[in-house]
Protein backbone atom coordinates (compact mmCIF):
# COMPACT_ATOMS: atom_id res chain seq x y z
CA UNK A 1 0.00 0.00 0.00
CA UNK A 2 1.66 3.21 -1.18
CA UNK A 3 1.23 6.74 0.09
CA UNK A 4 0.83 9.59 -2.38
CA UNK A 5 1.35 13.30 -1.72
CA UNK A 6 -0.53 15.63 -4.06
CA UNK A 7 0.22 18.93 -2.46
CA UNK A 8 0.58 21.73 -4.95
CA UNK A 9 3.55 23.74 -3.85
CA UNK A 10 2.84 23.53 -0.12
CA UNK A 11 5.49 22.16 2.23
CA UNK A 12 5.99 18.93 0.22
CA UNK A 13 9.50 18.25 1.50
CA UNK A 14 8.42 19.02 5.06
CA UNK A 15 5.60 16.44 4.80
CA UNK A 16 7.89 13.81 3.25
CA UNK A 17 10.43 14.36 6.02
CA UNK A 18 7.80 14.24 8.80
CA UNK A 19 6.30 11.02 7.38
CA UNK A 20 9.67 9.35 6.92
CA UNK A 21 10.80 10.31 10.42
CA UNK A 22 7.81 8.64 12.00
CA UNK A 23 7.56 5.72 9.58
CA UNK A 24 10.85 5.13 7.73
CA UNK A 25 9.54 2.16 5.70
CA UNK A 26 6.58 4.12 4.24
CA UNK A 27 6.51 4.05 0.43
CA UNK A 28 5.92 7.77 -0.21
CA UNK A 29 5.39 9.01 -3.74
CA UNK A 30 5.02 12.63 -4.77
CA UNK A 31 2.61 13.51 -7.59
CA UNK A 32 3.04 13.36 -10.57
CA UNK A 33 5.76 10.67 -10.01
CA UNK A 34 3.15 8.09 -8.97
CA UNK A 35 4.65 4.83 -10.22
CA UNK A 36 2.05 2.08 -10.72
CA UNK A 37 -1.38 3.73 -10.10
CA UNK A 38 -2.84 0.53 -8.57
CA UNK A 39 -0.33 0.75 -5.67
CA UNK A 40 -1.85 3.98 -4.35
CA UNK A 41 -4.37 3.50 -1.55
CA UNK A 42 -3.86 6.63 0.54
CA UNK A 43 -3.36 10.22 -0.63
CA UNK A 44 -2.45 13.38 1.27
CA UNK A 45 -3.71 16.36 -0.62
CA UNK A 46 -3.92 20.14 -0.90
CA UNK A 47 -5.37 21.74 -4.06
CA UNK A 48 -4.86 18.73 -6.31
CA UNK A 49 -5.29 19.11 -10.08
CA UNK A 50 -8.96 18.29 -10.78
CA UNK A 51 -9.46 14.74 -11.97
CA UNK A 52 -6.08 13.60 -10.64
CA UNK A 53 -7.55 10.95 -8.32
CA UNK A 54 -9.61 9.02 -10.85
CA UNK A 55 -6.49 7.23 -12.14
CA UNK A 56 -6.04 5.29 -8.86
CA UNK A 57 -8.34 2.24 -8.85
CA UNK A 58 -7.43 1.23 -5.26
CA UNK A 59 -7.53 4.64 -3.62
CA UNK A 60 -9.43 4.47 -0.31
CA UNK A 61 -8.67 7.70 1.53
CA UNK A 62 -7.83 11.28 0.61
CA UNK A 63 -6.54 13.21 3.62
CA UNK A 64 -6.64 16.99 3.46
CA UNK A 65 -3.50 18.62 4.85
CA UNK A 66 -5.73 21.33 6.30
CA UNK A 67 -8.95 21.77 8.29
CA UNK A 68 -10.98 22.45 5.12
CA UNK A 69 -11.88 19.91 2.45
CA UNK A 70 -13.51 22.21 -0.14
CA UNK A 71 -10.38 21.90 -2.32
CA UNK A 72 -11.00 18.13 -2.51
CA UNK A 73 -14.79 18.08 -2.80
CA UNK A 74 -14.84 20.64 -5.65
CA UNK A 75 -13.51 17.87 -7.93
CA UNK A 76 -16.43 16.43 -9.96
CA UNK A 77 -14.33 13.32 -10.73
CA UNK A 78 -13.72 12.28 -7.14
CA UNK A 79 -13.98 8.49 -6.87
CA UNK A 80 -17.19 7.63 -4.98
CA UNK A 81 -15.88 5.01 -2.57
CA UNK A 82 -13.07 7.19 -1.23
CA UNK A 83 -13.25 8.55 2.34
CA UNK A 84 -12.16 12.13 2.95
CA UNK A 85 -10.45 13.20 6.16
CA UNK A 86 -9.25 16.53 7.49
CA UNK A 87 -6.85 17.83 10.11
CA UNK A 88 -8.02 18.54 13.63
CA UNK A 89 -4.99 19.72 15.53
CA UNK A 90 -4.48 21.69 18.73
CA UNK A 91 -1.88 24.00 17.20
CA UNK A 92 -4.10 24.75 14.21
CA UNK A 93 -7.02 25.49 16.51
CA UNK A 94 -5.01 27.68 18.88
CA UNK A 95 -3.33 29.57 16.03
CA UNK A 96 -6.71 30.43 14.50
CA UNK A 97 -8.07 31.68 17.81
CA UNK A 98 -5.01 33.85 18.54
CA UNK A 99 -5.09 35.29 15.03
CA UNK A 100 -8.77 36.21 15.29
CA UNK A 101 -8.09 37.76 18.73
CA UNK A 102 -5.27 39.81 17.19
CA UNK A 103 -7.58 41.10 14.43
CA UNK A 104 -10.42 41.85 16.83
CA UNK A 105 -8.17 43.70 19.28
CA UNK A 106 -6.38 45.56 16.48
CA UNK A 107 -9.73 46.79 15.21
CA UNK A 108 -11.13 47.69 18.63
CA UNK A 109 -8.09 49.65 19.78
CA UNK A 110 -7.49 51.12 16.29
CA UNK A 111 -3.78 50.33 16.24
CA UNK A 112 -3.57 50.91 12.46
CA UNK A 113 -4.82 54.47 13.02
CA UNK A 114 -1.99 55.23 15.46
CA UNK A 115 0.53 53.62 13.12
CA UNK A 116 -0.64 55.97 10.34
CA UNK A 117 -0.34 59.00 12.68
CA UNK A 118 3.33 58.20 13.28
CA UNK A 119 4.22 59.45 9.77
CA UNK A 120 3.07 62.97 10.71
CA UNK A 121 4.34 62.76 14.31
CA UNK A 122 0.76 63.28 15.47
CA UNK A 123 -0.19 62.64 19.10
CA UNK A 124 -3.96 62.20 19.06
CA UNK A 125 -5.60 59.95 21.67
CA UNK A 126 -9.05 58.61 20.78
CA UNK A 127 -11.83 57.28 22.99
CA UNK A 128 -11.93 53.52 22.93
CA UNK A 129 -14.38 50.71 23.64
CA UNK A 130 -13.90 48.03 26.27
CA UNK A 131 -14.36 44.36 25.47
CA UNK A 132 -17.66 44.23 27.37
CA UNK A 133 -19.02 46.96 25.06
CA UNK A 134 -18.42 44.83 21.96
CA UNK A 135 -20.37 41.84 20.64
CA UNK A 136 -18.51 39.45 18.38
CA UNK A 137 -20.61 37.18 16.16
CA UNK A 138 -18.92 34.02 14.96
CA UNK A 139 -20.35 32.23 11.94
CA UNK A 140 -19.39 28.56 12.29
CA UNK A 141 -19.00 27.01 15.73
CA UNK A 142 -16.97 23.97 14.79
CA UNK A 143 -13.50 23.11 16.01
CA UNK A 144 -12.05 26.53 15.17
CA UNK A 145 -15.11 28.71 15.76
CA UNK A 146 -15.97 27.29 19.18
CA UNK A 147 -12.41 27.61 20.51
CA UNK A 148 -12.16 31.15 19.15
CA UNK A 149 -15.48 31.95 20.82
CA UNK A 150 -14.28 30.70 24.20
CA UNK A 151 -11.07 32.73 23.96
CA UNK A 152 -13.09 35.88 23.20
CA UNK A 153 -15.37 35.12 26.15
CA UNK A 154 -12.29 34.85 28.38
CA UNK A 155 -11.28 38.37 27.35
CA UNK A 156 -14.68 39.73 28.33
CA UNK A 157 -16.34 40.10 24.92
CA UNK A 158 -20.02 39.37 24.42
CA UNK A 159 -19.97 36.43 22.04
CA UNK A 160 -22.74 35.05 19.86
CA UNK A 161 -22.37 32.21 17.42
CA UNK A 162 -24.24 30.80 14.46
CA UNK A 163 -24.17 27.19 13.31
CA UNK A 164 -26.36 24.70 11.48
CA UNK A 165 -27.26 22.75 14.61
CA UNK A 166 -27.61 23.75 18.28
CA UNK A 167 -24.82 23.34 20.82
CA UNK A 168 -23.91 24.34 24.37
CA UNK A 169 -20.94 26.67 24.74
CA UNK A 170 -20.22 28.47 28.01
CA UNK A 171 -21.31 32.12 27.85
CA UNK A 172 -21.95 32.01 24.11
CA UNK A 173 -25.47 32.55 22.77
CA UNK A 174 -25.91 30.12 19.91
CA UNK A 175 -28.21 30.82 16.95
CA UNK A 176 -29.00 28.17 14.38
CA UNK A 177 -30.10 27.87 10.79
CA UNK A 178 -31.53 30.32 8.31
CA UNK A 179 -34.44 31.21 10.66
CA UNK A 180 -32.13 32.68 13.33
CA UNK A 181 -29.51 34.22 11.07
CA UNK A 182 -31.00 37.73 11.00
CA UNK A 183 -31.31 37.91 14.80
CA UNK A 184 -27.70 36.77 15.12
CA UNK A 185 -26.49 39.34 12.58
CA UNK A 186 -28.34 42.24 14.22
CA UNK A 187 -26.11 41.86 17.31
CA UNK A 188 -22.69 41.53 15.68
CA UNK A 189 -20.43 44.58 16.03
CA UNK A 190 -17.66 42.38 14.68
CA UNK A 191 -18.58 39.47 12.39
CA UNK A 192 -16.10 36.61 12.06
CA UNK A 193 -16.56 34.00 9.33
CA UNK A 194 -15.29 30.55 10.30
CA UNK A 195 -17.64 28.49 8.14
CA UNK A 196 -16.53 25.69 5.86
CA UNK A 197 -16.98 26.41 2.16
CA UNK A 198 -19.99 24.42 0.94
CA UNK A 199 -22.80 24.91 -1.58
CA UNK A 200 -24.87 26.51 1.24
CA UNK A 201 -22.17 28.87 2.51
CA UNK A 202 -20.60 30.07 -0.77
CA UNK A 203 -21.20 33.83 -1.26
CA UNK A 204 -22.88 34.07 2.16
CA UNK A 205 -21.01 37.28 3.00
CA UNK A 206 -22.99 39.45 0.59
CA UNK A 207 -24.79 42.80 0.52
CA UNK A 208 -28.05 41.35 1.82
CA UNK A 209 -26.25 39.92 4.86
CA UNK A 210 -24.15 43.04 5.47
CA UNK A 211 -27.31 45.16 5.51
CA UNK A 212 -28.51 43.17 8.53
CA UNK A 213 -25.40 43.97 10.57
CA UNK A 214 -25.44 47.03 12.84
CA UNK A 215 -24.15 50.31 11.40
CA UNK A 216 -20.30 50.41 11.60
CA UNK A 217 -19.93 46.66 11.95
CA UNK A 218 -16.52 45.22 11.07
CA UNK A 219 -16.08 42.02 9.05
CA UNK A 220 -13.36 39.40 9.49
CA UNK A 221 -13.08 36.58 6.97
CA UNK A 222 -10.60 33.87 7.91
CA UNK A 223 -12.51 30.98 6.29
CA UNK A 224 -12.47 30.95 2.47
CA UNK A 225 -12.40 33.65 -0.20
CA UNK A 226 -15.50 32.21 -1.90
CA UNK A 227 -17.61 33.06 1.16
CA UNK A 228 -17.31 36.74 0.28
CA UNK A 229 -18.86 38.71 -2.56
CA UNK A 230 -15.97 41.13 -2.82
CA UNK A 231 -17.74 43.96 -4.67
CA UNK A 232 -20.56 43.92 -2.07
CA UNK A 233 -18.04 44.36 0.74
CA UNK A 234 -16.41 47.36 -0.94
CA UNK A 235 -19.82 48.90 -1.68
CA UNK A 236 -21.00 48.54 1.92
CA UNK A 237 -17.75 49.97 3.33
CA UNK A 238 -17.77 52.89 0.89
CA UNK A 239 -21.42 53.62 1.74
CA UNK A 240 -20.38 53.88 5.40
CA UNK A 241 -22.51 50.96 6.59
CA UNK A 242 -19.48 48.80 7.44
CA UNK A 243 -16.45 50.30 9.18
CA UNK A 244 -14.00 47.98 7.41
CA UNK A 245 -12.74 44.44 7.09
CA UNK A 246 -9.80 42.18 7.76
CA UNK A 247 -9.43 39.49 5.13
CA UNK A 248 -7.06 36.53 5.24
CA UNK A 249 -8.55 34.56 2.33
CA UNK A 250 -9.48 35.53 -1.21
CA UNK A 251 -11.22 34.20 -4.29
CA UNK A 252 -7.91 34.35 -6.09
CA UNK A 253 -4.74 33.70 -4.11
CA UNK A 254 -2.25 35.31 -4.23
CA UNK A 255 -4.49 38.39 -4.39
CA UNK A 256 -3.92 39.85 -7.90
CA UNK A 257 -1.59 42.88 -8.13
CA UNK A 258 -4.36 45.21 -9.32
CA UNK A 259 -7.09 44.09 -6.91
CA UNK A 260 -8.97 47.05 -5.31
CA UNK A 261 -8.55 45.53 -1.81
CA UNK A 262 -4.82 46.33 -1.87
CA UNK A 263 -5.35 50.07 -1.90
CA UNK A 264 -8.58 50.27 0.10
CA UNK A 265 -7.84 52.19 3.32
CA UNK A 266 -10.42 50.22 5.32
CA UNK A 267 -9.47 46.74 4.19
CA UNK A 268 -6.62 44.91 5.95
CA UNK A 269 -5.05 42.04 4.05
CA UNK A 270 -3.07 39.05 5.25
CA UNK A 271 -1.88 36.30 2.87
CA UNK A 272 -3.85 33.25 4.13
CA UNK A 273 -1.75 32.86 7.26
CA UNK A 274 -4.41 32.74 9.98
CA UNK A 275 -3.53 29.17 10.84
CA UNK A 276 -1.38 26.73 8.92
CA UNK A 277 -0.89 23.02 9.50
CA UNK A 278 2.47 22.07 10.94
CA UNK A 279 3.36 18.69 9.36
CA UNK A 280 5.38 17.68 12.46
CA UNK A 281 2.33 18.09 14.63
CA UNK A 282 -0.30 16.73 12.18
CA UNK A 283 1.63 13.76 10.79
CA UNK A 284 0.61 11.41 13.61
CA UNK A 285 -3.12 11.56 12.81
CA UNK A 286 -2.34 10.99 9.11
CA UNK A 287 -0.28 7.90 9.93
CA UNK A 288 -2.91 6.72 12.38
CA UNK A 289 -5.46 6.73 9.57
CA UNK A 290 -3.01 4.99 7.27
CA UNK A 291 -2.67 2.20 9.89
CA UNK A 292 -6.42 2.11 10.50
CA UNK A 293 -7.03 1.70 6.79
CA UNK A 294 -4.70 -1.30 6.70
CA UNK A 295 -6.43 -2.82 9.72
CA UNK A 296 -9.94 -2.12 8.29
CA UNK A 297 -10.75 0.08 11.31
CA UNK A 298 -12.90 3.23 11.12
CA UNK A 299 -10.87 6.35 10.25
CA UNK A 300 -10.68 9.47 12.43
CA UNK A 301 -11.55 13.06 11.34
CA UNK A 302 -13.70 11.83 8.46
CA UNK A 303 -15.86 14.49 6.79
CA UNK A 304 -19.35 14.00 5.42
CA UNK A 305 -19.30 14.14 1.64
CA UNK A 306 -23.02 14.98 1.70
CA UNK A 307 -22.71 17.91 4.12
CA UNK A 308 -19.46 19.06 2.50
CA UNK A 309 -17.56 19.46 5.78
Ligand X SMILES: NC(=O)c1ccc[n+]([C@@H]2O[C@H](COP(=O)([O-])OP(=O)(O)OC[C@H]3O[C@@H](n4cnc5c(N)ncnc54)[C@H](OP(=O)(O)O)[C@@H]3O)[C@@H](O)[C@H]2O)c1
List CB contacts of 303: < 8 A, sequence separation 6 or more.
69, 84, 85, 86, 309
List CB contacts of 302: < 8 A, sequence separation 6 or more.
83, 84, 85
With b for 16 or more beta-carbon neighbours within 10 A and e for fewer, the 35-57 pattern comes to eeeeebbbbbbbbbeeebbeebe
Residue 85 lies near ligand X (rule: CB under 6 A) = no
Residue 151 lies near ligand X (rule: CB under 6 A) = no
Please identify, using beta-carbon distances, which residue of 4 and 143 lies nearer to ligand X.
Answer: 143
Selected from 27, 200, 211, 253, the binder of ligand X by CB under 6 A is 200
Please identify, using beta-carbon distances, which residue of 37 and 142 lies nearer to ligand X.
Answer: 142
29, 107, 224, 227: the active-site residue: 224
Binding span for ligand X by CB under 6 A among 108-116, 151-159, 194-202, 288-296: 194-202
Quote the CA–CA distance of 293 and 40 in Å, as a whole number: 13
Residue 309 lies near ligand X (rule: CB under 6 A) = yes
71, 74, 241, 272: the active-site residue: 272
Residue 137 lies near ligand X (rule: CB under 6 A) = no
CA angle 197/198/201 to nearest 5° reads: 80
10 belongs to the catalytic site: no
272 belongs to the catalytic site: yes
Selected from 29, 48, 107, 224, the binder of ligand X by CB under 6 A is 224
As measured in angstroms, the least distance from the Cβ of 185 to ligand X is 12
Residue 64 DSSP SS3: strand
Q: How many other C-beta atoms can be found within 10 angstroms of the C-beta atom of residue 204?
A: 19
Quote the CA–CA distance of 214 and 185 in Å, as a whole number: 8
Q: Which residue is nearest to ligand X (CB)?
A: 142
Catalytic residues: 224, 272
Where does this chain bind ligand X (CB under 6 A)?
A: 66-68, 96, 140-145, 162-165, 194-198, 200-201, 222-224, 248-249, 272, 274-275, 309
Amino acid sequence: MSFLIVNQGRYISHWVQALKEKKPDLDVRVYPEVGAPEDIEFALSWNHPLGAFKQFPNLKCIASTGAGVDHILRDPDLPEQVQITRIIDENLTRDMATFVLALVLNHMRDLSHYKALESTHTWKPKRYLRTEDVTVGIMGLGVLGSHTASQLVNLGFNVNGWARTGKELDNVTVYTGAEQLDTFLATADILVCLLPLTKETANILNKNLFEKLPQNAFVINVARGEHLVEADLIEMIDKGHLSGASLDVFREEPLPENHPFWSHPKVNITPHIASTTDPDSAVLQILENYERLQQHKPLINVVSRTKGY
